[in-house]
């Protein structure tokens, strides 16, 4: 299957990357990275009828004349109108969204990842490298780009990008807190306690969290929440996993990362303020995922904006001083973990990813899926 072919190719690039120090990176290294991003962009921009919510987004686009009021966020509605006025075909919008994503996210990955190809592989494993984007994916690209201004401590450019992302997907506003937690120093005990506590709370509070969220006194936010809650607590928006199954898988996946971060890399976290920031965002993502996914899987998507930190955390694993053989073994273990996690991502919405369809060709390589 084409998705596994991409996984294999990215794994080979990541393997070569962990044995290449930053000082040894030649212009050829950059060219290979850019070319890889370009291939992913081609897959994303030329797709048709693939990915979640394709039908609803296509319908929305087809209605996007200048007098269309719309029911989605104003920035996304405006983008639909602008593209529709130029090229009234939904593939044009898909192309524009993909272009924005692959212009923004790879810049930050290349600039702030110790090993960019490892980060690129992690991005692919976690979200299929946004080959099948929705408006939340576009918003997450804007928010990830805003991290550069957090690192540079430039508040107003960061704020403007958060507002822009919020006009695409309203839940982006929660990313505002990033500026105030990124450089905070938290003890290992504190991070571990709130990480475990959030998942314990999620399993215990699953029954009443829906009622609690229903009491939020904001018309727009309440409308979005009610839309999700109206589907029902057990509804998982097409996922093959139950709500509890998703919580368990989420806890196990995140526990592995937290163990590595708080045991093996804790001293490095104390020395590297940027790594410390990614750890803070990952912990925050875990809390949001546990609390909101316990209500409804769709609400759990609010953690996506902070979960982008995982992309960078995995690449930091190889900054730990080790022998070449230890590096090889660590990469092998990471690849096993990535393979297991990647299988879960594909299996979750298998029919929406396979076969691949584009304007010009279809790719359907058979694979056994349990």
Which residue in 217, 324, 311 sits closest to 10, CA to CA?
311
The answer to whether the CB of 279 falls within 8 A of the CB of 257 is no
Distances from the Cα of 77 to the Cα of 18, 62, 297, 305, angstroms: 42, 11, 25, 21
Alpha carbon distance 197, 252 (integer Å): 14
The answer to whether residues 194 and 246 touch, using CB atoms and an 8 Å cutoff, is no
Q: What is the pLDDT of residues 240-252, one digit of tens each?
A: 455 666 777 777 8
Could you tell me which residue, 310 or 211, shows the higher pLDDT?
310
pLDDT per residue as tens digits for the range 30-74: 999 999 999 999 988 888 777 777 778 888 888 888 888 878 888
- Map residue 105 onto helix, strand or coil: helix
CA distances from 286 to 237, 292, 316, 343 (A): 20, 10, 19, 21
Peptide bond into 304 cis (omega under 30): no
Which residues neighbour 55 within 8 Å (Cβ) at sequence distance 6 or greater? none
Structure tokens at 18: 């962990």
Task: Give the model's confidence band at 113: pLDDT under 50 very low, under 70 low, under 90 confident, else very high.
Answer: very high
pLDDT level of residue 118 (50, 70, 90 thresholds): very high
Query: DSSP secondary structure string, 107-170?
Result: HHHHHH-SSHHHHHHHHHHHHGGGSS--HHHHHHHHHHHHHHHHHTT-HHHHHHHHHHHHHH-G
Listed in sequence order, the DSSP H helices in the chain are: 2-17, 27-45, 54-62, 74-86, 90-112, 116-127, 135-151, 155-168, 178-181, 188-205, 209-213, 219-229, 243-259, 266-271, 273-293, 304-307, 309-316, 324-348, 350-353
Does residue 239 surpass a pLDDT of 50? no
Name the token pair of 117: 């190809």
- DSSP conformation class of 179: H
The predicted model gives 332-339 an average pLDDT of 92
pLDDT classification of 294: cutoffs 50, 70, 90:
low
- Using DSSP, state whether 237 is helix, strand or coil: coil
Q: Is the pLDDT of residue 216 over 90?
A: no
Q: What is the pLDDT of residues 297-322, one digit of tens each?
A: 666 677 889 989 999 999 998 888 78
Task: Give residue-wise pLDDT tens across range 154-202.
Answer: 999 999 999 999 999 988 999 999 999 999 999 889 998 988 888 887 7
Q: 118 vs 61, which has greater pLDDT?
A: 118
More confident residue, 134 or 312: 312
Extents of the domains making up the chain: 1-133+321-370, 182-309
| Poorest-pLDDT segment among 144-148, 176-180, 366-370 | 366-370
Q: Is 50 exceeded by the pLDDT of residue 272?
A: yes
Query: 363 has which bridge partners?
Result: 356
* pLDDT at residue 301, rounded to an integer: 74
Share of the chain above pLDDT 90, in %: 38
Residue 211: the pLDDT is: 54
pLDDT for position 215: 53
pLDDT of residue 206: 58
Q: Percent of the chain at pLDDT above 70? A: 84
pLDDT over 70 at 21, yes or no? yes
Flag whether pLDDT at 233 surpasses 60.
no
Whole-Å CA distances, 35 to 19, 32, 96: 20, 5, 19
Model pLDDT, residue 208: 54
Q: Which helix (H) or strand (E) holds 363?
A: strand 362-363
């Amino acid at each position: 299957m084409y998705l596994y072919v991409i996984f294999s190719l990215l794994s080979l690039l990541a393997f070569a990357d962990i044995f290449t120090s930053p000082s040894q990176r030649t212009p050829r290294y950059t060219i290979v990275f850019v070319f890889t991003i370009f291939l992913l962009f081609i897959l994303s921009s030329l797709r048709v009828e693939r990915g979640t919510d394709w039908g609803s987004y296509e319908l929305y686009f087809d209605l996007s004349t200048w007098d269309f009021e719309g029911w989605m966020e104003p920035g996304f509605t405006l983008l639909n109108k602008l593209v529709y006025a130029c090229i009234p075909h939904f593939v044009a919008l898909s192309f524009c969204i993909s272009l924005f994503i692959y212009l923004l996210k790879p810049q930050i990955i290349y600039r702030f990842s110790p090993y960019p190809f490892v980060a690129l592989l992690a991005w692919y494993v976690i979200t299929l490298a946004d080959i099948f984007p929705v408006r939340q994916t576009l918003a997450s690209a804007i928010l990830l780009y805003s991290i550069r201004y957090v690192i540079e401590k430039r508040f107003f450019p960061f704020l403007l990008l958060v507002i822009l992302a919020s006009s695409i997907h309203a839940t982006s506003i929660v990313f505002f807190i990033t500026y105030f937690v990124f450089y905070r120093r938290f003890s290992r005990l504190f991070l571990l306690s709130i990480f475990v506590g959030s998942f314990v709370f999620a399993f215990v509070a699953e029954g009443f969290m829906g009622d609690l969220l229903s009491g939020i006194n904001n018309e727009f936010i309440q409308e979005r929440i009610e839309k999700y809650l109206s589907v029902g607590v057990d509804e998982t928006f097409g996922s093959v996993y139950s709500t509890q199954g998703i919580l368990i898988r989420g806890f196990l996946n995140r526990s592995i990362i937290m163990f590595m971060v708080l045991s093996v890399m804790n001293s490095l976290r104390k020395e590297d303020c940027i790594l410390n920031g990614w750890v803070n965002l990952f912990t925050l993502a875990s809390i949001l995922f546990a609390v909101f996914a316990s209500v409804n899987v769709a609400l759990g998507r609010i953690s996506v904006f902070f979960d982008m930190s995982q992309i960078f955390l995995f690449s930091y694993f190889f900054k730990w001083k080790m022998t070449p053989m230890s590096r090889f073994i660590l990469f092998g273990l990471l690849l096993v973990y990535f393979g297991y996690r990647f299988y879960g991502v594909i299996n979750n919405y298998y029919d929406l990813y396979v076969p691949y369809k584009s304007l010009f060709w279809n790719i359907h390589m058979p694979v056994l899926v349990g």
